Amino acid sequence: MVDRPRLAVVTPRFPFPLNKGDRLRIHHQLKVLHGHFHIDLHCLTFRRIPPSELEQLQDRCDSITLYRLNPIKATFRMAWALFSRRPFQVLLFTERRHCRKMRVNILAQHPDVLLAQMVRTAEYVKDFDAVPHVLDIMDTLHAGAVREAERAPWWKRPLLIEEGRRLLRYEHRVHHYFDGCTIISRQDRDLLPHPDRDEVHIVPNGVDTDHFHPACDPPPLSLPGLPVDVAFCGNMGYAPNVVAARFLVEEIAPAFERLERRPLRILICGAQPTATVLGLASPSVTVVRDVPDIRSAYLSAPLFVAPMLVNTGLQNKLLEALSLERACITTPRALSAIEVDLNGAIQSAESPEEFAERIAALLKAPDMAAGMGQIGRHQVQSHFGWTAASANLVTLLQTFTRTR
């Protein structure tokens, strides 16, 4: 029997808890990849990882090495960022002592191939000429920074514009340092500032359809007052989600009230909500943080509304909502990243008035909403299980595997 090749994986965060998109993506990819490779996981982290979280990864890798980043050193790096051309987030996560340490540790394990997640890890492994190395770019970050700047407070806008410029330069040249690159969607790939962008492999996100099942154990959240009409879930410390939550409450909800002569009852739920998100709470808007099981939030409303304005890439939240048979409404930008014909399981809207009209129509036609949900789950099961979503990644890494 031929032994499995060895894969080194480098991540900017420990892939648990599953409260951020990059953690969710690599957590499930590791499970698929472990069926084809021995895996040595190398994680950067700003926090201590408790044993209970380490146990969550035991079934999907052979070893775990943690590199604790020093917050004080990170502060100094950001203070000197003015004198560097690298993106702020690359500087934040790049600690020189760990670059040397990681290199020694990885080479001692004799990997056949290496996978690095996000440009935040690129400085650690970009010069690993002895090992074929692949970068999962995930999203086109420079485009997200520019779009976020358009809706950011005045004091934050110059920083985002500068970060967008730095990311644009970095994303242009980082492709040259790796033997292969992957990205979540064709939409993001088309935005890459590189003439060879078509060589970047598309590896979409997936969803655990057994876990996100409409008959799952957790009941809907117990909320005061009348049942909610729509839910929006995600990491509420993530800037694109903050922008979307504000758009839902401050623009879509008033448009709905003008149309229907009653308030739109909204549930916003997710980890690490900013003060801005918490400030959106009102008699008709419930903001809930850090629920034990996010499925309860999805199941609390008949409709899932994700008015993503500044994001790029395939949204995990939409796949999870579809898997739970929720009728979904989102923006054309978010819908186009899915790249699969969902047979009407998701409706799209751009203006507040369009969102309001679609919400009102579906609330008045619960059978139609239920039908959309059923179609959506079927399409997700067919195209977005993690095994199917990770197939291109497995093939790419196997292509680069060295003969030992």
Residue 223 lies in a domain: no
Beta-carbon contacts of residue 45 (< 8 Å; ≥ 6 apart): 13, 14, 66, 67, 68, 69
Q: Structural domain of residue 158, as residue ranges? A: 6-206+386-400
CB atoms within 10 A of CB 186: 16
pLDDT of residue 403: 46
Question: In this structure, are 371 and 395 located in the same domain?
Answer: no
Question: In this structure, are 169 and 249 located in the same domain?
Answer: no
Contact call for residues 171 and 141 (beta carbons, < 8 A):
yes
Residue 167 lies in a domain: yes
State the total domains in the chain.
2
CB atoms within 10 A of CB 267: 23
Domain of 78, CATH number, reads 3.40.50.2000
3-class state of residue 275 by DSSP = helix
Question: In this structure, are 15 and 151 located in the same domain?
Answer: yes
Residue 216 lies in a domain: no
Query: What is the spatial distance between Cα 223 and Cα 258, in angstroms, rounded to a whole number?
Result: 25
Contact call for residues 207 and 319 (beta carbons, < 8 A):
yes
Question: In this structure, are 372 and 395 located in the same domain?
Answer: no
Residue 213 lies in a domain: no
Residue 218 lies in a domain: no
Backbone phi, then psi, for 108, in 5-degree steps?
-65, -25
Question: In this structure, are 38 and 167 located in the same domain?
Answer: yes
End-to-end CA distance of the chain: 15
Question: In this structure, are 268 and 198 located in the same domain?
Answer: no
Question: In this structure, are 123 and 236 located in the same domain?
Answer: no
Query: What is the spatial distance between Cα 389 and Cα 383, in angstroms, rounded to a whole number?
Result: 7
Question: In this structure, are 164 and 244 located in the same domain?
Answer: no
CA neighbor of 262 nearest in space, from 273, 253, 270, 274: 253
Residue 224 lies in a domain: no
Question: In this structure, are 125 and 269 located in the same domain?
Answer: no
pLDDT of residue 99: 96
Tokens of 246: 């504000």
Residue 270 lies in a domain: yes
Beta-carbon contacts of residue 305 (< 8 Å; ≥ 6 apart): 230, 231, 232, 248, 252, 328, 329, 330, 355, 359
Torsion of CA 359, 361, 365, 366, to 10 degrees: 0
Contact call for residues 267 and 231 (beta carbons, < 8 A):
yes
Tokens of 153: 């407070």
Question: In this structure, are 163 and 265 located in the same domain?
Answer: no
Query: What is the spatial distance between Cα 228 and Cα 285, in angstroms, rounded to a whole number?
Result: 9
pLDDT of residue 148: 85
Q: For the chain, which residues score pLDDT lower than 70?
A: 1-2, 311-313, 402-404
pLDDT of residue 244: 95
Q: What is the pTM for the complete model shown? A: 0.87
Question: In this structure, are 295 and 310 located in the same domain?
Answer: yes
Residue 212 lies in a domain: no
Question: In this structure, are 338 and 393 located in the same domain?
Answer: no
pLDDT of residue 341: 78
